[in-house]
Amino acid sequence: MEQVVLLAEDGSAIGVEDKAVVHHADTPLHLAFSSYVFDSAGRIVLTRRALHKKTFPGVWTNTCCGHPLPDEDMAQAVLRRLQDELGMKCSEPELLLPRFRYRAEMGGVVENEMCPVFRVLSDDEPTPNPDEVDSTERVAWSEFASGVLDGTREISPWARLQVAELVKLGPDPLQWPVADRSGLPSAVRLGSPLQ
């Protein structure tokens, strides 16, 4: 049974819970991540969540989200989920937003996460796992970001908040600076330095 790491308000780990039962109307704060995969032309891979998922089914979002397993290195968790969901081989994840946190609700199910955001580079074509991903789209970052910010592109609530922060890093996603790890929740394990 896959487990997620439960968090205190200060970002420290206070326990674990089975992923299958952690999401409900009063979801406890827990650890997650979001990743944005860009190709060498600076286009982002977007995904539409599988229609049968418990949380936010059928919603378009950033490339991949997930939860690190207890004691799992977060960069390795990002790569694991990208492989599981999209069959993509990717570069080492680079930390962009260490302090991102959000709460969102859909159909009575709540997401409540401290969710660092990573950039990942890959020119691989995604091969979606139908258990996780309904479909994918590759789009220029500027087109995607402007559509999210002006409300013309439907996207998950967490991605909408993340895009508002990511555009502050500059117009070219391939040139965004890597963030200082000191802002990460203390529960995050992150081994090798991210370049």
Alpha helices in 23-73 (DSSP H): none
Q: Has 67 been labeled as part of a binding site?
A: yes
Q: Has 24 been labeled as part of a binding site?
A: no
Q: Has 113 been labeled as part of a binding site?
A: yes
Q: Give the Cα separation of 87 and 127 in Å (integer).
A: 5
Q: Has 111 been labeled as part of a binding site?
A: yes
Let me know: does 81 contact 75? Beta carbons within 8 Å. no
Q: Which residues carry out catalysis? A: 65, 113
Let me know: does 94 contact 122? Beta carbons within 8 Å. no
Alpha helices in the chain (DSSP H): 19-22, 74-86, 141-149, 157-166
Phi and psi at residue 32, to the nearest 5°: -145, -175
Annotated binding residues for Mg(2+), as ranges?
85
Q: Which residues are annotated as a binding site?
A: 23, 30, 67, 85, 111, 113
Residues marked as binding for Mn(2+)? 23, 30, 67, 111, 113
